[in-house]
Amino acid sequence: MNAPLNLAELRPGFFEPVRDSQSVFRALLTATAQPGTQVELGKALTPPVGLNQTAAAVLLTLADQDTLVWLEPSLRGGAVESWLRFHTSCPLTERAEEAAFAVVSDTALAPQPLSAFNQGDAKYPDLATTVLVMVQNLETGGKLVLEGPGIETVAEIAPQGVPDFFWSERAELVAHFQFGIDVMLCAEATLVSIPRTTRIQIKGE
Amino acid sequence: MTATEAYSRPNAAPEDRYYTYAYLDEQTKRMIRRAILKALAIPGYQVPFGSREMPVPYGWGTGGIQLTAAIIGPEDVYKCIDQGADDTTNAVSIRRFFATVADVATTEDTGEATIIQSRHRIPEQPLADGQIMVFQVPQPEPLRGLEPRETETRAMHAYGEYGLQYVSLYENISAYGRIAATAGYPVMIDERYLMSPSPIPKFDNPKMHMNPAILLFGAGREKRIYAVPPFTRVRSLDFEDYPFETQSWDEVCALCGANDSYLDEVVLDDQGQHMFVCSDSHYCADRRAKGHAGPMAGHALAHIETEIAAEEA
């Protein structure tokens, strides 16, 4: 985790960090307050291979020296790690249970990944991990129906590539609120936030 | 000054650019932003945060100012009220503060604002989807008056153990014949966390239920942030035989004649003269502009706010 940074092919971060992180945060605020709402962010970014624009924008906006970040094994030790350490100074961890943020692509999801992350403490549920799941898109997958705080009636999304076991495992965690995992589905240029309060039904294709 | 700094605050006067955008440093904003997102994910739960020294004393809205500073952007339109009024000292100075450090347009118009910072009121005009209310909170812990130890109240929230709160309401009824709390009336958020709505009058409590706006609460001295997402159930505690009730008045607003708004009593002289006027100054002025008139319409007090607005401009 302390390998020297590879600066030779380092991609840039935000063009103007103060303004850009504010506008990305406001999109995240809308997304998290209204689960299922697609927000656009990170369009101008050219992140390193392995990280998509929205996941990169979220990390630039929220990660810093106070947040332990867990990267899926295929992203460790390469361009993503160098880019992240250079731009955010965040410490990295291989222990999922201590991560503040986790980054995983849909193809790397395995059964039981969610419960491995920090679900918070009974007295401090805010310590739970925020998991960024990089997906191909939010329109062409199986239809999901969302209900809960922030949603007036129901919301629908259709993320492509997230396996069903991910949602069934998440449903088990939802039953244990105030514990839980907050998920952000990061497609290229659009994001949907699914906090632990959201109840999801799988409607299929 | 570098090109980046100029880009960062294109509308700011040169001397104002010595402040970083929105006053707080970027790491503090990130810390507060993370806390806000967790607060929305766990509605009603108080997220601890590293509250900073602000250029006003604790008790003057440092929690609300830090929240606003972490969310505000140059395209926002900012409104700030104190007990419903746009024209009181605290509201005017906080509004000027953000006009200076965040280069935002300010307004008194509830419908026009994207961020409404408030000390102890929710505006009468219904809030809309996309608006953000920021509440200044003196004491975030609804149970603090009943249990002084933070370790205990935190455990009570963790296990949803709110019997003590109900006992307190019951004792109210046995002592006064009714639930006597009038402001800061405790609410249950999404049937899980007990929350203090900050000392808004209980008149405003029903406005929070299934509200389309984002409600953010910040306590600077007590270092806590909490939130109610839009369209979230907010229930004021009560008993079947003593249902929750809001305040009501026999009078109407003396200036605009409103019978549906929260009224303040204003003492006019030493002879017992008094009047009731809307606490929400924009709501009252808007009604008067539309031709509504109360029993004391045209009273000298009605002109005060227009004079202040003219001075500010």
Mean pLDDT of B251-261: 95
Model confidence at B277, pLDDT cuts 50, 70, 90, reads very high
Residue, of B8 and B293, whose pLDDT is higher: B293
The answer on pLDDT for B78 being more than 70 is yes
Report pTM: 0.95
pLDDT value of residue A107: 84
pLDDT value of residue B2: 46
pLDDT tens digits along B147-191? 999 999 999 999 999 999 999 999 999 999 999 999 999 999 999
pLDDT tens digits along A53-65? 999 999 999 999 9
Please count the helices (runs of H) and the strands (runs of E) in chain B: 9, 12
In sequence order, what are the residues at sequence separation of 6 or more whose Cβ sits closer than 8 angstroms to the Cβ of residue A39? Answer: A27, A28, A30, A31, A190, A191, A192
Determine whether the interchain pair A22/B72 forms a contact, defined as Cβ–Cβ distance below 8 Å: yes
Please report the residues numbered 131 through 190 in chain B whose beta carbons come closer than 8 angstroms to any beta carbon of chain A. Answer: 132, 154-155, 157-159, 190
Cβ atoms of A178 and B45 within 8 Å: the answer is yes
Query: Which among B30, B42, B74 is the nearest to A126, CB-wise?
Result: B42
Q: Which residue has the tokens 């608006």?
A: B131
What are the contacts of B260-263 at 24+ separation with CB within 8 A? Answer: B260/B124, B261/B124, B262/B84, B262/B121, B262/B124, B262/B201, B262/B203, B262/B204
Please report the residues numbered 156 through 185 in chain A whose beta carbons come closer than 8 angstroms to any beta carbon of chain B. Answer: 177-178, 180, 182
In B, minimum Cα distance to A149 occurs at: B232
Nearest to B194 by CA among B236, B225, B232, B150: B236
pLDDT value of residue B1: 40
pLDDT tens digits along B200-243? 999 999 999 999 999 999 999 999 999 999 999 999 999 999 99
Inter-chain contacts counted by CB atoms under 8 A, chains A and B:
120
Counting residues of chain A whose pLDDT is more than 90, the rounded percentage is 86
Mean pLDDT of B14-21: 78
Determine whether the interchain pair B37/A28 forms a contact, defined as Cβ–Cβ distance below 8 Å: yes
pLDDT value of residue B22: 94
pLDDT value of residue B102: 93
Q: Which residues of B touch A69 (CB under 8 A)?
A: none
ipTM: 0.97
Q: Which residues of B are catalytic?
A: 44, 253, 256, 278, 284
The tokens describing B184, both together, are 């800061």
Determine whether the interchain pair B26/A21 forms a contact, defined as Cβ–Cβ distance below 8 Å: yes
Q: Which residues of A touch B35 (CB under 8 A)?
A: 126
pLDDT value of residue A179: 97
Taking all residues of chain B, what is their mean pLDDT, rounded to a whole number? 92
pLDDT value of residue A205: 59
The answer on pLDDT for B20 being more than 70 is yes
Taking all residues of chain A, what is their mean pLDDT, rounded to a whole number? 94
Chain B: closest CA distance from residue A183 (Å) = 10
Q: d(Cα A13, Cα A11) in Å, to the nearest integer? A: 7
Determine whether the interchain pair B230/A150 forms a contact, defined as Cβ–Cβ distance below 8 Å: yes
A147 touches chain B (CB under 8 A): no
pLDDT value of residue B18: 74
Side chain identity, residue A164? D
Mean pLDDT of B1-13: 58
pLDDT value of residue B9: 75
pLDDT value of residue B14: 76
Q: Which residues of B touch A150 (CB under 8 A)?
A: 40, 229-232
Mean pLDDT of B281-287: 95
A12 touches chain B (CB under 8 A): no
Q: Which residues of B touch A180 (CB under 8 A)?
A: 41
Question: What single DSSP character describes residue B65?
Answer: H
Mean pLDDT of B283-309: 82
B18 touches chain A (CB under 8 A): no
The answer on pLDDT for B313 being more than 90 is no
pLDDT value of residue A110: 85
Counting residues of chain B whose pLDDT is more than 70, the rounded percentage is 94
